[in-house]
Amino acid sequence: MTVVPGEPEDGDLVAADGKIAVPSHVTDAIRTLIEWAGDDPTREGLVDTPKRVARAWREYCAGYADDPAIHLARVFEEVGGYDEIVLLKDIPFQSHCEHHMAPIIGVAHIAYLPRNHVVGISKLARVLHGFARRLQVQERLTAEVADCIWDNLKPLGVAVVIEATHACMTARGVRTPGVAMVTSRMMGVFRDDDRSRKEVLALMGRPA
Ligand SMILES: Nc1nc2c(ncn2[C@@H]2O[C@H](COP(=O)(O)OP(=O)(O)OP(=O)(O)O)[C@@H](O)[C@H]2O)c(=O)[nH]1
Ligand SMILES: [Zn+2]
């Protein structure tokens, strides 16, 4: 069932601000989860929690309603002959792992070597968030961001490095805090040419 903001269907709960209609089977499921966790979903502090959680998950997963490629449709050609690496560094992001639906929190570095045109720099972060706001594994997130830039900008090279911590490792399971997972995807010159690869990694502050 599709949830359309402002267009509740029969049996839906409508948020007080009218922004999102949450189907009752969704809030029922969250109530069940609260019981499973060991608490009483009818106590005062938890009565509105299913609705909040439902809306929060729409926000965490807003990427499903986003086509990240759209952000790369508008390009600029008047760049004074600029033909060096463009890098957006230390972009904070949040995602959720698809195995435990636990937070993945980290930073991404996204670089490309333009071919004739560049894109508005905020768009690289929009592409990242479009894929991050879904249920993910870090490897696929890294690949999807790189592939989207490669396919749509058709640059000479793309380099994406992501460093993140996974709450499914820190808050549960192996419970090992302070561990970062690093993934990278190099395409075009950054994959084929060792000097270009070293240069982009150095700009990212990650000497090869
Ligand atoms: N490669 C990869 N693994 C991930 C990512 N996020 C979570 N995981 C891992 O996915 C694995 C799922 O393993 P399972 O054995 O099916 O699940 P589990 O019994 O909950 O495993 P533990 O976390 O070891 O308790 C775990 O090792 C997680 O650490 C990710 O982005 N990439
Ligand atoms: Zn996990």
Ligand 1 atom closest to Cα of residue 164: 31
> pLDDT digits over 59-90, tens only?
999 999 999 999 999 999 988 889 999 999 99
> So what's the pLDDT on residue 207?
76
111: Cβ–Cβ under 8 A, 6 or more apart, which residues? Answer: 85, 86, 87, 88, 157, 158, 159, 160, 190, 200, 203, 204
Ligand nearest to the CA of 100: 2
pLDDT band at 1, cuts 50/70/90?
very low
Instruction: Read off the pLDDT of residues 150-207 as tens digits, 9 standing for 90 and up.
Output: 999 999 999 999 999 999 999 999 999 999 999 999 999 999 999 999 999 999 998 7
| Domain boundaries 12-60, corresponding CATH code | 1.10.286.10
Catalytic residue flag (residue 138): yes
Of 97, 136, 148, 199, catalytic:
97
pTM across the whole model = 0.91
Task: Give the domain ranges of the chain.
Answer: 12-60, 69-203
Dump pLDDT digits (tens) for 84-134.
999 999 999 999 999 999 999 999 999 999 998 999 999 999 999 999 999
Q: Which of 7, 9, 35, 98 is catalytic?
A: 98
Alpha-carbon span 13 to 51, nearest angstrom: 8
Distance (angstroms) between ligand 1 centre and the Cα of 99 equals 6
Q: Whose CA is closest to atom 25 on ligand 1?
A: 173
CATH code reported for the domain at 69-203: 3.30.1130.10
Question: Which position among 138, 144, 148, 199 bears the catalytic label?
Answer: 138
Q: What is the DSSP string of the chain?
A: ----TT---TTEEE-TTSS-EEEHHHHHHHHHHHHHHT--TTSGGGTTHHHHHHHHHHHHTGGGG--GGGGGS-EE--STT--S-EEEEEEEEEEEETTT--EEEEEEEEEEE-BSBEE-THHHHHHHHHHHSSEE-HHHHHHHHHHHHHHHH--SEEEEEEEEEEHHHHTSTT--TT--EEEEEEEEHHHH-HHHHHHHHHHTT---
**Quick one: which atom of ligand 1 is closest to the CA of 173?**
25
Task: Indicate which residue's Cα is closest to atom 22 of ligand 1.
Answer: 173
97 CA to centre of ligand 2 in angstroms: 5
The residues placing their C-beta within 5 Å of ligand 2, an ion, are 97, 99-100, 102, 168
Residues with CB under 6 A from ligand 1: 97, 99, 137-139, 166, 168-169, 173-174
Indicate the residue type of 85: I
pLDDT at 208: 74
| Alpha carbons 149 and 179: distance in angstroms, whole number | 28
As for the ipTM of the complex, it is 0.93
What's residue 18's pLDDT? Answer: 58
Tokens of 171: 């808050």
